[in-house]
Amino acid sequence: MNVDENDLLHPAHGLQNTYNEYKETADWLLAEIRIRPQIAVICGSGLGGLADLLSDKTTIPYEKIPRFPKSTVPGHAGKLVFGELRGKPCACMQGRFHFYEGYPINEVTFPIRVFHLMGIETLIVTNAAGGLNDEFKVGDIMIINDHINLPGFAGLNPLRGSNEERFGVRFPCMSDAYDKTLRQMALDSSQDLGYQDFIHDGVYCMLAGPSYETIAESRLLKILGADAVGMSTVPEVILARHCGMRVFGISLITNKVVMDYNSQEKANHEEVLQTSRHRAEALLRLISNLVGKIN
């Protein structure tokens, strides 16, 4: 059954872009750049320095890209950078979009389908996250092996609405969301770089934000099996897997989540950015090493 575009605005379907709109943006970008990227990296808060490692760069501000949202959060530069990293053609998003900024979920994830139509096959997502696992310390790096889509429990899923079969199947599998081969390659890279002491793997939980978690909420997330918590990443991963892209995810633990009612600690964004700056070099070296291993 064909669905009229106007029907897609009905609350029963949720807001969506059409296939042709994604393709128009992808074609516009391909016309602006010389390379044909195979890997895309989404940089979390304070981690946009990865783009500085690219050679032969082309930088395009988000506001110039048709239909791209704009980043409004400190630590997110709002630029799409194309170039080569370790000989691999890459696209690097300096800043992502968040549901808490007021964007509909389809706008938060808009770049993912554009990347797919540009021919990108591997997505690397990074984020700043609060540590729930007692063994994690501020500045540690967590390779994501699974996630908990807590907003999805309430129906906030980027695939809600009419399915576009040209992107993927109606009910995509998520038990293999984070590619095992890429995770092992990242662990090998951490060995190469001598980072074993502050590398972990674990489960990332997404909350919608922008408020940080209460103590009761944090305790609940830990019971659910989450090792780290943040306000991004999961919608992008769902869209990427729907499109058949390989995904690797990594969290920088920028603060310890408060679990004790007697604690005087308070989560704040400045602490997140400060820790990101402190550990960014190691994280960027790890990603660069990993990209060099990807076929």
Hey, which residues are catalytic here?
A: 45, 76, 98, 100-101, 128, 231-232, 255, 269
Query: How do beta strands 246-256 and 141-149 pair?
Result: antiparallel
Nearest-angstrom CA–CA distance, 273 and 268: 9
Which ranges of the chain does DSSP label H, i.e. alpha helix? 19-32, 105-108, 110-117, 150-153, 180-193, 215-224, 234-242, 269-293
Q: How many CB atoms lie within 10 A of CB 3?
A: 14
74 cis-preceded (ω within 30 degrees of 0): no
For 199, the 3-state DSSP assignment is: strand
Integer CA distances (angstroms), 121 to 54, 75, 275, in order: 18, 27, 31
For 59, the 3-state DSSP assignment is: strand
- Per-residue three-class SS string for 76-131: CCCEEEEEEECCEEEEEEECCCCHHHCCCHHHHCHHHHHHHHCCCCEEEEEEEEEE
Nearest-angstrom CA–CA distance, 190 and 186: 6
Residue pair 160/171 in contact by the 8 Å Cβ criterion = no
Token reading at 189: 């890279």
Nearest-angstrom CA–CA distance, 142 and 289: 16
The helix (run of H) or strand (run of E) holding residue 246 is strand 246-256
